[in-house]
Amino acid sequence: DVQMTQSPSSLSASVGDRVIITCRASLDIGNYLAWFQQKPGEAPRSLIYAASSLHSGVPSHFSGSGSGRDFTLTITSLQPEDFATYFCQQYNRFPFTFGPGTTVDIK
Amino acid sequence: QVQLQQSGPGLVEPSGTLSLTCTVSGGSLSGNSWWTWVRQSPGEGLEWIGEIFHTGHNNYNPSLRSRATISEDRSKNLVFLTVTSVTAADTAIYFCARRQYGMGGIDSWGQGILVTVSS
pLDDT tens digits, A49-88: 999 999 999 999 999 999 999 999 999 999 999 999 999 9
**Do the chains contact at A89 and B105, CB–CB below 8 Å?**
yes
Q: How far is B74 from chain A (nearest CA, A)?
A: 25
Task: Calculate mean pLDDT across residues B86-108.
Answer: 95
Question: For position B65, what pLDDT does the model report?
Answer: 83
Separation of alpha carbons A67 and B19, rounded Å? 38
- Average pLDDT in chain B: 95
Question: In chain A, which residues have their Cβ closer than 8 Å to the Cβ of B105?
Answer: 32, 34, 46, 49-50, 89, 91
Chain A's closest residue to B106, CA to CA, is A46
- What's the per-residue H, E or C state across chain A? CCCEEEECCEEEECCCCCEEEEEEECCCCCCCEEEEEECCCCCCEEEEECCCEECCCCCCCEEEEEECCEEEEEECCCCHHHCCEEEEEECCCCCCEECCCEEEEEC
**Do the chains contact at B100 and A49, CB–CB below 8 Å?**
yes
CA B52 to chain centre: 10
Cis peptide, bond prior to residue A95, ω within 30 of zero:
yes
Backbone angles phi, psi at B103, to 5 degrees: -85, -5
Question: In chain A, which residues have their Cβ closer than 8 Å to the Cβ of B62?
Answer: 95
Question: For position B54, what pLDDT does the model report?
Answer: 85
Task: Calculate mean pLDDT across residues A27-35.
Answer: 98
**Distance (Å) of CA B18 to CA A38, B8, B83:** 25, 8, 5
Task: Calculate mean pLDDT across residues A33-43.
Answer: 97
**Do the chains contact at A44 and B46, CB–CB below 8 Å?**
yes
| Cα dihedral across residues B95, B52, B68, B104: positive or negative | negative
**Do the chains contact at A32 and B47, CB–CB below 8 Å?**
no
Q: In which order are the strands placed within the sheet that holds A70-75? A: A4-7, A19-25, A70-75, A62-67
Q: How far is A30 from chain B (nearest CA, A)?
A: 11
A98 touches chain B (CB under 8 A): yes
Task: Calculate mean pLDDT across residues A24-30.
Answer: 98
Question: For position B55, what pLDDT does the model report?
Answer: 87
**Do the chains contact at A89 and B107, CB–CB below 8 Å?**
no
Q: How far is A42 from chain B (nearest CA, A)?
A: 7
Separation of alpha carbons A22 and A30, rounded Å? 16
Closest CA to B89 of B39, B41, B38, B20: B41
Residue B69: other Cβ atoms inside 10 A: 17
Separation of alpha carbons B89 and A43, rounded Å? 20
